[in-house]
Amino acid sequence: MEWVEQRLGQRIRRGTLELHYDDGEQRVYGDGGPPHGVMRLHRRRTLRRIALDPEFMLGQTYMDGDWSPGEGGLLSVLEVLLHNFPPPRNGGLKGWLIWASRPLQQWNRAAAARRNVASHYDLDDWLFQNFLDTDMHYSCAYFRDPEMDLESAQRAKAAHIRHKLCLRPGDRVLDIGCGWGSMAIHLARHEQVQVVGLTLSREQQRLAQERVRQAGVADRVEIRLQDYRDVTGPFERIVSVGMFEHVGVPFYDTYFDTIRRLLTEDGVALVHSIGRFNPPGVTNPWIRRYIFPGGYIPATSEVMESVERVGIRTTDIEVLRLHYAYTLAHWQKRFQRIRGRVAEAKSESFCRMWEFYLAVSEAAFRWRGMMVLQLQLARQQDAVPLTRDYLYSGEREERRWPEPSRIAS
């Protein structure tokens, strides 16, 4: 244990970390100032387990109940640790092996993609219904003001994307990775368009179809259980929100070439994905095992290299920085309201897994270089207006009237 505590003393220079053992022993590291995190250690072996494999074992030991956050909560502990322990480099034998295995981690052929999606999105509907917004957008919201409530911010996101699609009456729209139908329903409610939504989750398809019927847009929205690689077009517009993270680098060219192939000559596509400010990396092993198997957050350079190879035009790029951190904070607050029910229905370990996932994700957007990338694409460079004025004039008009009321679920 001495070498672990010595390392903490050497590394924690910014902020303060308190360790409280169940037998009453306490240790304090850092400069005494903020940020201030408190870890309550329930087993003596915990620090050693974390130190031997911090990227995986910090989350694993939390799931196992080996430690709990004290005053300030889980996010404060993560803030101290992320400020004082930089991301691991890819040097050495272990780093080389991790990097070399990256293509296998992201080998998302159709069958593997279906299994990976089912492991996360086929969880009980009520879990998502109770911590997401009322329209069930499971992606970054758009906060015109940090004080916006989650429902308003998610409606603002949907509207922002809708304006970027430059929709016209009669357009046929493909929604790749439609989730529970939130974006498809929004587009059909606001525009005279036909939407085909794709998901690989049977549970998502079932609930999305139900929500489409309840919204009264079943004549204009079709939800398919289908891989994007199996679709035939053409479509005037394509939208993909929160799905690109599941594609995998080996399939980026296939993904963007499919969009190019399915678009009409004057078509427009909008891809909304988590990205990283930093160079290409690897997925955190704990996230890869428990939350998003096969998932990967791309660097902008990786995305653009593929777009350039495929030969589709980039007509707009927008980076949303802290928006997902705000979104995740809302999700965490809502999850804590139902935590007792989740523990009864599933387990305490599941609750710890889910709250750690939400907290570490928020921390990554605040302090570890994660952001959201919105990429507007077209086959022709004059497919969208010359300036971005059309986005904001449309959004100003939209604020004058309310979104339709909530759908029963």
Exposure class string for 381-404: b at 16+ Cβ within 10 A, else e:
eebbeeeeeebeeebeebeeeebe
Query: What's residue 7's pLDDT?
Result: 87
Q: Nearest-CA neighbor of 188 among 208, 162, 210?
A: 162
Query: What's residue 3's pLDDT?
Result: 81
- Tell me the β-bridge partners of 30: 16
Q: Find the Cα–Cα–Cα–Cα dihedral 357, 361, 363, 366, rounded to 10°.
A: -170
Q: Nearest-CA neighbor of 53 among 10, 94, 3, 105?
A: 94
Query: What's residue 109's pLDDT?
Result: 57
Question: Regarding beta strands 263-276 and 370-378, do their DSSP bridges make them parallel or antiparallel, or are they unpaired?
Answer: antiparallel
Query: What's residue 9's pLDDT?
Result: 87
Cis status, amide bond into 234, omega within 30 of 0: yes
Strand ordering across the sheet containing 16-21: 26-30, 16-21, 36-41, 67-69
Q: Nearest-CA neighbor of 294 among 302, 283, 303, 307?
A: 283
Q: Nearest-CA neighbor of 67 among 40, 86, 102, 85?
A: 40
Residue 136, C-beta contacts closer than 8 angstroms, at least 6 positions apart:
128, 129, 179, 180, 181, 182, 211, 409
The string of DSSP letters for 199-234 reads ES-HHHHHHHHHHHHHHT-TTTEEEEE--GGG----
Q: Where in the chain are the domains?
A: 2-84, 111-398
- List the pLDDT tens digit at each of the 409 positions of the chain: 678 888 888 899 999 999 999 999 999 999 999 999 999 999 989 999 999 999 999 999 999 999 999 999 999 999 999 999 987 765 444 454 444 555 655 555 555 545 555 455 456 788 999 999 999 999 999 999 999 999 999 999 999 999 999 999 999 999 999 999 999 999 999 999 999 999 999 999 999 999 999 999 999 999 999 999 999 989 999 999 999 999 999 999 999 999 999 999 999 999 999 999 999 988 999 999 999 888 899 999 999 999 999 999 999 999 999 999 999 999 999 999 999 999 999 999 999 999 999 999 999 999 999 999 999 999 999 999 999 999 987 666 565 444 444 433 3
Quote the pTM value: 0.89
Q: How far apart are CA 361 and CA 295, in angstroms?
A: 14
Question: Does CATH place domain 111-398 in 3.30.70.580?
Answer: no
